[in-house]
Amino acid sequence: MSQEGFDSSEEGVESLKKGPTLSTSTSSFEALDPHDPNLSRLANTLFSKTSEYLYGELTSTLDDYKLLENMNRATIAKYSDMKHIANNISKNVTELNSKYELLLPLLEQIDQIEDSVMKLEQAAYKLDAYTKRLEAKFKNLEKK
C-alpha cells in the first residue's frame, strides 16, 4: 500500500488512523483505500449542491428563453392584429376618399346654391327696406 501521501512506516500507520492526507494528484485516490467518511460526505454534499445550483441556473435560463419566446409570440400576434387594423383603416380611407371625390361636384353645387340664397336674402332685405320707405311715403302722401 505504498503510494503518494502514504508511508509504510509507523508514521504512515498513524496517518492512516488519522485519515489520508490530501494530495493535489487526482490519481492517488483508490476506492479501496481507507478514507475519511466525513470528507467523503462533504464531497458528496458539495457535488450534490453544485449539481442543484447548475440545474437551477440552467432551468432559470431555460425559463428566461421560454418567457422570451412567449413574449415574441404575443408580440407577433399583436403586430399581426395591428397590421389587419391598419389594412382595414387604409381600405376605409380609400373608400372615403373615393366617395368624397364623387360628392365633390354636389358639394360645389351646394356651395353655389348657398351663395345664391345669401344673395337672394340680401335682395329680399333691400326690397323689404325699399317697400317700407315706399309705404312711409305713401302714408305721407295720404295724409296731405
Burial class (CB in 10 A: 0-12, 13-18, 19+), 131: exposed
Q: Which tens digit of pLDDT belongs to each residue from 30-73? A: 555 567 888 989 999 999 999 999 999 999 999 999 999 999 99
CB–CB of 4/25 below 8 Å? yes
Place of cell 502514504: 6
pLDDT at residue 143, as a whole number = 85
pLDDT at residue 144, as a whole number = 77
Q: Which tens digit of pLDDT belongs to each residue from 80-135? A: 999 999 999 999 999 999 999 999 999 999 999 999 999 999 999 999 999 999 99
Say yes or no to pLDDT of 6 above 70.
no
Q: How far apart are CA 131 and CA 133, in angstroms?
A: 5
Distance of CA 96 to the CA centre of its chain: 33
